[in-house]
Structure 1
Amino acid sequence: METLGALQAQDLAAFHAQHYGPQGMILVVVGNVEAAQALDVIRDKLGDWQNPQQPAQPTLPAVATPQKPTYTSVAMPGKSQADIILGVLGPERKSADFVAASLLNSILGQFGMMGRIGAVIREEHGMAYYAYSRIEGGYGPGAWKVIAGVAPQNVETAIELAKDEIRRITEEMVSEEDLADNQSYFTGHLPLQLESNEGIATRLLLMESYDLGLDYLINYHDMIYSITREDLLEVARRYWGGEGYVVAIAGPNGHDG
Protein backbone atom coordinates (compact mmCIF):
# COMPACT_ATOMS: atom_id res chain seq x y z
CA MET A 1 0.00 0.00 0.00
CA GLU A 2 2.87 2.38 0.74
CA THR A 3 4.35 1.73 -2.70
CA LEU A 4 1.04 2.29 -4.47
CA GLY A 5 0.36 5.44 -2.50
CA ALA A 6 3.67 6.92 -3.59
CA LEU A 7 3.01 6.46 -7.31
CA GLN A 8 2.35 9.58 -9.36
CA ALA A 9 0.84 9.95 -12.82
CA GLN A 10 4.27 10.73 -14.25
CA ASP A 11 5.56 7.40 -12.93
CA LEU A 12 2.94 5.54 -14.96
CA ALA A 13 3.64 7.67 -18.03
CA ALA A 14 7.38 6.98 -17.74
CA PHE A 15 6.79 3.24 -17.41
CA HIS A 16 4.50 3.26 -20.44
CA ALA A 17 7.00 5.24 -22.51
CA GLN A 18 9.80 2.83 -21.70
CA HIS A 19 8.08 -0.54 -21.91
CA TYR A 20 5.19 -0.22 -24.39
CA GLY A 21 5.97 -0.40 -28.08
CA PRO A 22 5.40 -2.35 -31.30
CA GLN A 23 8.40 -4.66 -31.03
CA GLY A 24 7.25 -8.22 -30.47
CA MET A 25 3.58 -7.23 -30.46
CA ILE A 26 1.08 -9.84 -31.65
CA LEU A 27 -2.23 -8.48 -32.92
CA VAL A 28 -5.10 -10.86 -33.62
CA VAL A 29 -8.24 -9.83 -35.52
CA VAL A 30 -11.24 -12.17 -35.72
CA GLY A 31 -14.70 -11.34 -37.01
CA ASN A 32 -16.68 -9.99 -39.93
CA VAL A 33 -13.81 -8.12 -41.54
CA GLU A 34 -11.63 -8.80 -44.55
CA ALA A 35 -7.93 -9.28 -43.90
CA ALA A 36 -6.99 -6.43 -46.24
CA GLN A 37 -9.39 -4.06 -44.48
CA ALA A 38 -8.04 -5.01 -41.07
CA LEU A 39 -4.46 -4.48 -42.24
CA ASP A 40 -5.35 -1.06 -43.63
CA VAL A 41 -6.77 0.02 -40.27
CA ILE A 42 -3.78 -1.36 -38.38
CA ARG A 43 -1.30 0.39 -40.66
CA ASP A 44 -3.26 3.63 -40.41
CA LYS A 45 -3.45 3.59 -36.61
CA LEU A 46 -0.19 1.89 -35.68
CA GLY A 47 1.99 2.00 -38.78
CA ASP A 48 4.22 4.85 -37.58
CA TRP A 49 4.39 3.71 -33.96
CA GLN A 50 7.97 3.51 -32.79
CA ASN A 51 9.56 3.33 -29.38
CA PRO A 52 13.37 3.21 -29.40
CA GLN A 53 13.31 2.98 -25.59
CA GLN A 54 11.44 -0.31 -25.61
CA PRO A 55 13.78 -3.01 -24.30
CA ALA A 56 14.22 -6.34 -26.02
CA GLN A 57 12.26 -9.29 -24.73
CA PRO A 58 14.27 -10.44 -21.72
CA THR A 59 15.71 -13.92 -21.45
CA LEU A 60 14.20 -15.51 -18.40
CA PRO A 61 16.75 -16.83 -15.92
CA ALA A 62 16.69 -20.46 -14.92
CA VAL A 63 14.56 -21.15 -11.87
CA ALA A 64 16.03 -23.45 -9.27
CA THR A 65 13.72 -26.18 -8.02
CA PRO A 66 13.54 -26.33 -4.22
CA GLN A 67 15.21 -29.44 -2.83
CA LYS A 68 13.12 -29.71 0.32
CA PRO A 69 9.65 -28.69 1.53
CA THR A 70 9.22 -24.99 2.26
CA TYR A 71 6.45 -23.60 4.44
CA THR A 72 5.28 -19.98 4.53
CA SER A 73 2.49 -18.80 6.82
CA VAL A 74 0.80 -15.43 7.12
CA ALA A 75 -1.43 -14.75 10.11
CA MET A 76 -4.54 -12.74 9.25
CA PRO A 77 -6.42 -12.03 12.48
CA GLY A 78 -10.17 -11.78 12.11
CA LYS A 79 -10.38 -14.20 9.18
CA SER A 80 -12.52 -17.28 9.68
CA GLN A 81 -10.99 -19.34 6.87
CA ALA A 82 -7.48 -20.58 6.14
CA ASP A 83 -6.35 -20.72 2.52
CA ILE A 84 -3.73 -23.26 1.48
CA ILE A 85 -1.58 -23.48 -1.63
CA LEU A 86 0.74 -26.46 -2.10
CA GLY A 87 2.77 -26.25 -5.28
CA VAL A 88 5.81 -27.11 -7.36
CA LEU A 89 7.44 -25.73 -10.49
CA GLY A 90 5.58 -27.01 -13.52
CA PRO A 91 6.41 -26.98 -17.24
CA GLU A 92 6.66 -24.02 -19.58
CA ARG A 93 3.68 -23.60 -21.88
CA LYS A 94 5.69 -24.63 -24.92
CA SER A 95 7.21 -27.68 -23.20
CA ALA A 96 6.48 -30.95 -24.95
CA ASP A 97 4.87 -32.35 -21.81
CA PHE A 98 2.61 -29.39 -21.00
CA VAL A 99 -0.50 -30.94 -22.55
CA ALA A 100 0.05 -34.22 -20.71
CA ALA A 101 0.59 -32.27 -17.49
CA SER A 102 -2.66 -30.38 -18.12
CA LEU A 103 -4.54 -33.62 -18.66
CA LEU A 104 -3.13 -35.04 -15.45
CA ASN A 105 -4.01 -31.83 -13.62
CA SER A 106 -7.60 -32.25 -14.73
CA ILE A 107 -7.67 -35.71 -13.17
CA LEU A 108 -5.94 -34.47 -10.03
CA GLY A 109 -8.05 -31.43 -9.31
CA GLN A 110 -10.38 -30.17 -12.06
CA PHE A 111 -12.63 -32.79 -13.66
CA GLY A 112 -16.16 -33.13 -12.36
CA MET A 113 -16.34 -31.72 -8.84
CA MET A 114 -12.67 -30.72 -8.97
CA GLY A 115 -11.09 -34.10 -9.53
CA ARG A 116 -9.49 -36.31 -6.92
CA ILE A 117 -8.52 -33.40 -4.68
CA GLY A 118 -12.10 -32.17 -4.48
CA ALA A 119 -13.48 -35.68 -4.04
CA VAL A 120 -11.23 -36.45 -1.07
CA ILE A 121 -10.91 -33.15 0.77
CA ARG A 122 -14.32 -31.67 0.05
CA GLU A 123 -16.69 -34.54 -0.63
CA GLU A 124 -15.34 -37.42 1.49
CA HIS A 125 -14.04 -35.44 4.46
CA GLY A 126 -16.29 -32.37 4.19
CA MET A 127 -13.55 -30.05 5.35
CA ALA A 128 -13.07 -27.65 2.43
CA TYR A 129 -15.05 -24.71 1.15
CA TYR A 130 -13.22 -25.38 -2.10
CA ALA A 131 -10.38 -27.67 -3.18
CA TYR A 132 -8.86 -28.02 -6.64
CA SER A 133 -5.59 -27.92 -8.57
CA ARG A 134 -4.28 -25.58 -11.25
CA ILE A 135 -1.39 -25.56 -13.71
CA GLU A 136 0.02 -22.35 -15.12
CA GLY A 137 2.64 -22.39 -17.86
CA GLY A 138 4.10 -19.27 -19.46
CA TYR A 139 7.37 -18.30 -21.12
CA GLY A 140 9.06 -19.90 -18.12
CA PRO A 141 8.05 -22.60 -15.66
CA GLY A 142 4.71 -21.90 -14.03
CA ALA A 143 3.23 -23.05 -10.77
CA TRP A 144 1.46 -26.39 -10.55
CA LYS A 145 -0.51 -26.20 -7.35
CA VAL A 146 -3.25 -27.55 -5.16
CA ILE A 147 -5.49 -24.90 -3.61
CA ALA A 148 -7.94 -25.31 -0.74
CA GLY A 149 -9.92 -23.16 1.65
CA VAL A 150 -10.63 -24.83 4.99
CA ALA A 151 -11.49 -24.13 8.60
CA PRO A 152 -8.28 -23.31 10.52
CA GLN A 153 -8.41 -26.52 12.55
CA ASN A 154 -8.37 -28.57 9.33
CA VAL A 155 -5.24 -27.08 7.76
CA GLU A 156 -2.81 -29.88 8.61
CA THR A 157 -5.26 -32.64 7.69
CA ALA A 158 -6.11 -31.01 4.36
CA ILE A 159 -2.42 -30.69 3.50
CA GLU A 160 -1.82 -34.35 4.29
CA LEU A 161 -4.82 -35.43 2.21
CA ALA A 162 -3.56 -33.36 -0.73
CA LYS A 163 -0.09 -34.88 -0.38
CA ASP A 164 -1.65 -38.35 -0.34
CA GLU A 165 -3.37 -37.70 -3.67
CA ILE A 166 -0.20 -36.22 -5.15
CA ARG A 167 1.75 -39.25 -3.97
CA ARG A 168 -0.87 -41.49 -5.54
CA ILE A 169 -0.44 -40.01 -9.03
CA THR A 170 3.33 -40.51 -8.77
CA GLU A 171 3.04 -44.14 -7.69
CA GLU A 172 0.03 -45.47 -9.62
CA MET A 173 -1.10 -45.11 -13.20
CA VAL A 174 -4.46 -43.42 -13.53
CA SER A 175 -7.32 -45.69 -14.48
CA GLU A 176 -8.27 -46.21 -18.11
CA GLU A 177 -11.65 -44.68 -17.27
CA ASP A 178 -10.10 -41.52 -15.80
CA LEU A 179 -7.89 -41.10 -18.84
CA ALA A 180 -10.73 -41.66 -21.31
CA ASP A 181 -13.13 -39.35 -19.46
CA ASN A 182 -10.63 -36.50 -19.39
CA GLN A 183 -9.54 -36.98 -22.99
CA SER A 184 -13.19 -36.78 -23.99
CA TYR A 185 -13.64 -33.67 -21.86
CA PHE A 186 -10.61 -31.91 -23.35
CA THR A 187 -11.57 -32.61 -26.96
CA GLY A 188 -15.27 -31.97 -26.37
CA HIS A 189 -14.63 -28.68 -24.60
CA LEU A 190 -12.48 -27.21 -27.37
CA PRO A 191 -15.35 -26.48 -29.82
CA LEU A 192 -17.13 -24.57 -27.04
CA GLN A 193 -14.04 -22.41 -26.62
CA LEU A 194 -14.15 -21.58 -30.32
CA GLU A 195 -17.81 -20.55 -30.49
CA SER A 196 -17.09 -16.83 -30.10
CA ASN A 197 -14.76 -14.42 -31.87
CA GLU A 198 -13.06 -13.81 -28.54
CA GLY A 199 -12.48 -17.53 -28.05
CA ILE A 200 -10.93 -17.93 -31.49
CA ALA A 201 -8.76 -14.84 -30.99
CA THR A 202 -7.58 -16.11 -27.62
CA ARG A 203 -6.54 -19.45 -29.11
CA LEU A 204 -4.74 -17.81 -32.03
CA LEU A 205 -2.87 -15.52 -29.65
CA LEU A 206 -1.86 -18.51 -27.54
CA MET A 207 -0.63 -20.43 -30.57
CA GLU A 208 1.43 -17.50 -31.85
CA SER A 209 2.78 -16.42 -28.47
CA TYR A 210 4.19 -19.84 -27.63
CA ASP A 211 5.13 -21.00 -31.14
CA LEU A 212 2.67 -23.87 -31.00
CA GLY A 213 2.14 -23.78 -34.76
CA LEU A 214 -0.91 -22.77 -36.76
CA ASP A 215 -1.86 -26.44 -37.09
CA TYR A 216 -2.15 -26.79 -33.30
CA LEU A 217 -5.95 -26.95 -33.27
CA ILE A 218 -6.02 -29.28 -36.27
CA ASN A 219 -3.77 -31.72 -34.43
CA TYR A 220 -5.33 -31.19 -31.00
CA HIS A 221 -7.64 -34.22 -31.02
CA ASP A 222 -4.88 -36.63 -32.03
CA MET A 223 -2.49 -35.00 -29.57
CA ILE A 224 -4.86 -35.57 -26.65
CA TYR A 225 -5.67 -39.15 -27.59
CA SER A 226 -2.00 -40.01 -28.10
CA ILE A 227 -1.36 -39.44 -24.37
CA THR A 228 -1.11 -42.70 -22.45
CA ARG A 229 -1.41 -43.68 -18.81
CA GLU A 230 2.34 -44.23 -18.82
CA ASP A 231 2.84 -40.65 -20.06
CA LEU A 232 0.81 -39.31 -17.15
CA LEU A 233 2.75 -41.36 -14.61
CA GLU A 234 6.01 -40.09 -16.09
CA VAL A 235 4.93 -36.45 -16.01
CA ALA A 236 3.64 -36.84 -12.45
CA ARG A 237 6.99 -38.18 -11.31
CA ARG A 238 8.88 -35.50 -13.21
CA TYR A 239 7.18 -32.60 -11.45
CA TRP A 240 5.75 -34.04 -8.24
CA GLY A 241 8.17 -36.86 -7.54
CA GLY A 242 10.59 -34.94 -5.32
CA GLU A 243 10.31 -33.19 -2.00
CA GLY A 244 10.75 -29.68 -3.37
CA TYR A 245 7.22 -28.44 -2.86
CA VAL A 246 6.16 -25.14 -1.31
CA VAL A 247 3.24 -24.72 1.08
CA ALA A 248 1.75 -21.28 1.70
CA ILE A 249 -0.98 -20.72 4.28
CA ALA A 250 -2.93 -17.57 5.07
CA GLY A 251 -5.48 -17.55 7.86
CA PRO A 252 -6.38 -16.44 11.36
CA ASN A 253 -3.62 -18.52 12.95
CA GLY A 254 0.00 -19.05 12.01
CA HIS A 255 1.13 -22.53 11.00
CA ASP A 256 4.72 -23.68 11.15
CA GLY A 257 4.25 -26.69 8.86
Structure 2
Amino acid sequence: MDWGRFAEQMASMARDLLAQDSVDATLERITASATELVEGCDAAGILVLHDSKVETLAPTHQLVVESDLLQQRLGEGPCFDAAHSSQGERVFRIADLTGLQQRWPAYAPQAHDLGVGSMMGFLLYTEEQDFGALNLYSHKPGAFTENSELAGWMLASHAAVAFAAARTHAQMEQAVTTRHTIGEAMGILMGAHNLSEERAFDVLRRYSQEKNIKLREVARLICERGGLT
Protein backbone atom coordinates (compact mmCIF):
# COMPACT_ATOMS: atom_id res chain seq x y z
CA MET A 1 0.00 0.00 0.00
CA ASP A 2 1.24 3.50 -0.88
CA TRP A 3 1.00 5.18 2.53
CA GLY A 4 2.20 8.51 1.17
CA ARG A 5 -0.69 8.60 -1.27
CA PHE A 6 -3.05 7.42 1.45
CA ALA A 7 -1.91 10.25 3.76
CA GLU A 8 -2.70 12.78 1.02
CA GLN A 9 -6.14 11.25 0.55
CA MET A 10 -6.79 11.31 4.29
CA ALA A 11 -5.82 14.97 4.51
CA SER A 12 -8.16 15.78 1.64
CA MET A 13 -10.95 13.79 3.27
CA ALA A 14 -10.46 15.56 6.61
CA ARG A 15 -10.84 18.96 4.94
CA ASP A 16 -13.85 17.69 3.02
CA LEU A 17 -15.53 16.41 6.18
CA LEU A 18 -15.20 19.76 7.92
CA ALA A 19 -16.66 21.49 4.86
CA GLN A 20 -19.95 19.57 5.00
CA ASP A 21 -22.99 21.65 5.97
CA SER A 22 -24.94 19.11 8.03
CA VAL A 23 -24.51 16.05 10.25
CA ASP A 24 -26.11 13.80 7.62
CA ALA A 25 -23.78 15.08 4.90
CA THR A 26 -20.78 14.50 7.17
CA LEU A 27 -21.82 10.92 7.87
CA GLU A 28 -22.45 10.21 4.20
CA ARG A 29 -18.97 11.50 3.37
CA ILE A 30 -17.47 9.27 6.09
CA THR A 31 -19.03 6.08 4.77
CA ALA A 32 -18.33 6.98 1.14
CA SER A 33 -14.68 7.62 2.09
CA ALA A 34 -14.49 4.15 3.63
CA THR A 35 -15.42 2.50 0.34
CA GLU A 36 -12.99 4.77 -1.54
CA LEU A 37 -9.96 4.57 0.75
CA VAL A 38 -10.03 1.20 2.52
CA GLU A 39 -8.83 -1.66 0.39
CA GLY A 40 -11.42 -4.42 0.07
CA CYS A 41 -14.38 -2.38 1.34
CA ASP A 42 -17.55 -2.89 -0.72
CA ALA A 43 -20.01 -1.22 1.67
CA ALA A 44 -20.00 0.84 4.85
CA GLY A 45 -22.38 2.28 7.41
CA ILE A 46 -22.56 3.64 10.93
CA LEU A 47 -24.53 1.72 13.54
CA VAL A 48 -25.88 3.52 16.60
CA LEU A 49 -27.58 1.66 19.43
CA HIS A 50 -30.54 3.05 21.35
CA ASP A 51 -30.83 0.47 24.13
CA SER A 52 -31.36 -2.69 22.04
CA LYS A 53 -32.65 -0.87 18.94
CA VAL A 54 -30.26 -0.13 16.10
CA GLU A 55 -30.17 2.89 13.84
CA THR A 56 -28.24 2.65 10.59
CA LEU A 57 -26.74 5.95 9.45
CA ALA A 58 -25.42 6.77 5.97
CA PRO A 59 -25.35 3.20 4.58
CA THR A 60 -23.70 2.93 1.18
CA HIS A 61 -25.46 -0.34 0.32
CA GLN A 62 -28.63 -2.17 1.36
CA LEU A 63 -26.43 -4.98 2.71
CA VAL A 64 -25.46 -2.69 5.63
CA VAL A 65 -29.09 -2.07 6.58
CA GLU A 66 -29.99 -5.75 6.33
CA SER A 67 -27.02 -6.78 8.47
CA ASP A 68 -27.83 -4.22 11.17
CA LEU A 69 -31.49 -5.25 11.27
CA LEU A 70 -30.47 -8.91 11.47
CA GLN A 71 -28.23 -8.17 14.47
CA GLN A 72 -31.03 -6.24 16.15
CA ARG A 73 -33.49 -9.08 15.63
CA LEU A 74 -31.04 -11.70 16.89
CA GLY A 75 -29.46 -9.57 19.63
CA GLU A 76 -25.96 -10.58 18.54
CA GLY A 77 -23.27 -9.81 16.02
CA PRO A 78 -19.94 -8.02 15.69
CA CYS A 79 -21.33 -4.55 14.87
CA PHE A 80 -23.89 -4.91 17.66
CA ASP A 81 -21.05 -5.68 20.08
CA ALA A 82 -18.80 -2.88 18.82
CA ALA A 83 -21.52 -0.25 19.25
CA HIS A 84 -21.79 -1.27 22.94
CA SER A 85 -18.80 0.80 23.96
CA SER A 86 -18.93 -0.43 27.53
CA GLN A 87 -18.49 -4.07 26.53
CA GLY A 88 -17.44 -4.08 22.89
CA GLU A 89 -14.13 -3.98 21.06
CA ARG A 90 -12.90 -0.69 19.69
CA VAL A 91 -11.70 -2.46 16.55
CA PHE A 92 -12.60 -5.82 15.06
CA ARG A 93 -11.59 -7.57 11.85
CA ILE A 94 -13.27 -10.77 10.72
CA ALA A 95 -11.63 -12.55 7.81
CA ASP A 96 -14.40 -15.12 7.36
CA LEU A 97 -17.70 -15.29 9.23
CA THR A 98 -18.08 -19.02 8.62
CA GLY A 99 -15.37 -19.66 11.22
CA LEU A 100 -17.17 -17.71 13.97
CA GLN A 101 -20.41 -19.60 14.42
CA GLN A 102 -19.55 -20.34 18.05
CA ARG A 103 -19.32 -16.64 18.90
CA TRP A 104 -22.40 -15.55 16.92
CA PRO A 105 -24.20 -18.82 16.20
CA ALA A 106 -27.36 -17.22 14.81
CA TYR A 107 -25.88 -14.19 13.04
CA ALA A 108 -22.85 -15.72 11.30
CA PRO A 109 -24.64 -18.15 8.95
CA GLN A 110 -27.45 -15.72 8.12
CA ALA A 111 -24.98 -12.91 7.41
CA HIS A 112 -23.16 -15.25 5.06
CA ASP A 113 -26.48 -15.80 3.27
CA LEU A 114 -26.84 -12.02 2.93
CA GLY A 115 -23.54 -11.92 1.07
CA VAL A 116 -21.17 -10.90 3.84
CA GLY A 117 -17.74 -12.41 3.28
CA SER A 118 -15.64 -10.39 5.72
CA MET A 119 -16.14 -7.44 8.04
CA MET A 120 -14.36 -4.75 10.02
CA GLY A 121 -15.70 -2.38 12.65
CA PHE A 122 -14.35 0.66 14.47
CA LEU A 123 -15.86 2.35 17.48
CA LEU A 124 -16.30 6.06 16.78
CA TYR A 125 -15.25 7.85 19.93
CA THR A 126 -13.56 10.92 21.34
CA GLU A 127 -12.40 11.50 24.91
CA GLU A 128 -15.84 12.87 25.75
CA GLN A 129 -18.23 10.34 24.22
CA ASP A 130 -18.95 7.42 21.90
CA PHE A 131 -20.96 7.83 18.70
CA GLY A 132 -21.54 4.28 17.51
CA ALA A 133 -19.53 2.06 15.21
CA LEU A 134 -18.26 2.50 11.65
CA ASN A 135 -18.70 -0.89 9.99
CA LEU A 136 -17.09 -2.03 6.75
CA TYR A 137 -18.19 -4.99 4.64
CA SER A 138 -16.75 -7.04 1.83
CA HIS A 139 -18.48 -9.69 -0.23
CA LYS A 140 -15.24 -11.70 -0.30
CA PRO A 141 -13.76 -13.72 2.60
CA GLY A 142 -10.30 -12.53 3.56
CA ALA A 143 -10.69 -9.18 1.82
CA PHE A 144 -9.43 -7.12 4.75
CA THR A 145 -5.73 -7.18 5.60
CA GLU A 146 -3.72 -5.62 8.40
CA ASN A 147 -3.19 -2.63 6.11
CA SER A 148 -6.96 -2.39 5.62
CA GLU A 149 -7.45 -2.41 9.38
CA LEU A 150 -4.87 0.34 9.91
CA ALA A 151 -6.40 2.43 7.14
CA GLY A 152 -9.88 1.94 8.59
CA TRP A 153 -8.71 2.87 12.07
CA MET A 154 -7.13 6.09 10.79
CA LEU A 155 -10.28 6.97 8.87
CA ALA A 156 -12.46 6.24 11.91
CA SER A 157 -10.31 8.49 14.09
CA HIS A 158 -10.81 11.42 11.72
CA ALA A 159 -14.47 10.52 11.33
CA ALA A 160 -15.17 10.60 15.07
CA VAL A 161 -13.75 14.11 15.40
CA ALA A 162 -15.68 15.33 12.34
CA PHE A 163 -18.88 13.69 13.60
CA ALA A 164 -18.49 15.37 16.99
CA ALA A 165 -17.79 18.76 15.40
CA ALA A 166 -20.77 18.49 13.05
CA ARG A 167 -23.11 17.50 15.83
CA THR A 168 -21.89 20.29 18.12
CA HIS A 169 -22.38 22.82 15.31
CA ALA A 170 -25.89 21.53 14.65
CA GLN A 171 -26.76 21.75 18.35
CA MET A 172 -25.47 25.32 18.51
CA GLU A 173 -27.50 26.29 15.45
CA GLN A 174 -30.60 24.72 16.98
CA ALA A 175 -30.01 26.57 20.27
CA VAL A 176 -29.70 29.91 18.45
CA THR A 177 -32.86 29.20 16.45
CA THR A 178 -34.72 28.17 19.61
CA ARG A 179 -33.72 31.32 21.48
CA HIS A 180 -34.84 33.45 18.55
CA THR A 181 -38.19 31.66 18.33
CA ILE A 182 -38.80 31.96 22.08
CA GLY A 183 -37.95 35.66 21.96
CA GLU A 184 -40.35 36.19 19.07
CA ALA A 185 -43.12 34.29 20.89
CA MET A 186 -42.56 36.35 24.05
CA GLY A 187 -42.83 39.53 21.96
CA ILE A 188 -46.17 38.37 20.56
CA LEU A 189 -47.53 37.67 24.07
CA MET A 190 -46.19 40.94 25.45
CA GLY A 191 -47.85 42.94 22.69
CA ALA A 192 -51.15 41.05 22.73
CA HIS A 193 -51.66 40.97 26.51
CA ASN A 194 -49.56 43.92 27.73
CA LEU A 195 -47.23 41.62 29.67
CA SER A 196 -43.74 42.21 30.97
CA GLU A 197 -40.92 40.11 29.59
CA GLU A 198 -40.84 38.05 32.78
CA ARG A 199 -44.59 37.43 32.72
CA ALA A 200 -44.55 36.47 29.04
CA PHE A 201 -41.85 33.88 29.66
CA ASP A 202 -43.82 32.57 32.66
CA VAL A 203 -46.86 32.07 30.42
CA LEU A 204 -44.73 30.09 27.97
CA ARG A 205 -43.20 27.96 30.72
CA ARG A 206 -46.53 27.25 32.42
CA TYR A 207 -48.23 26.27 29.16
CA SER A 208 -45.30 23.99 28.34
CA GLN A 209 -45.61 22.22 31.70
CA GLU A 210 -49.41 21.93 31.64
CA LYS A 211 -49.54 20.53 28.09
CA ASN A 212 -46.31 18.53 28.41
CA ILE A 213 -44.94 20.19 25.28
CA LYS A 214 -41.35 21.35 24.91
CA LEU A 215 -40.86 25.08 25.34
CA ARG A 216 -39.46 25.52 21.84
CA GLU A 217 -42.54 23.81 20.38
CA VAL A 218 -44.88 26.11 22.34
CA ALA A 219 -42.93 29.10 21.04
CA ARG A 220 -43.12 27.81 17.47
CA LEU A 221 -46.92 27.38 17.72
CA ILE A 222 -47.33 30.91 19.06
CA CYS A 223 -45.26 32.32 16.21
CA GLU A 224 -47.31 30.39 13.65
CA ARG A 225 -50.71 31.25 15.15
CA GLY A 226 -50.00 34.69 16.53
CA GLY A 227 -50.96 33.55 20.05
CA LEU A 228 -51.76 30.54 22.20
CA THR A 229 -55.20 29.99 20.69
- TM value normalised by structure 2: 0.28
Q: Considering only CA atoms, is the larger Rg found in Structure 1 or Structure 2?
A: 2
From the two aligned structures, give the one with the greater helix fraction. 2
Query: Taking structure 1 as the reference length, what is the TM-score of the superposition?
Result: 0.26
Structure with the larger RCO, 1 or 2 (CA within 8 Å, 6+ apart): 1
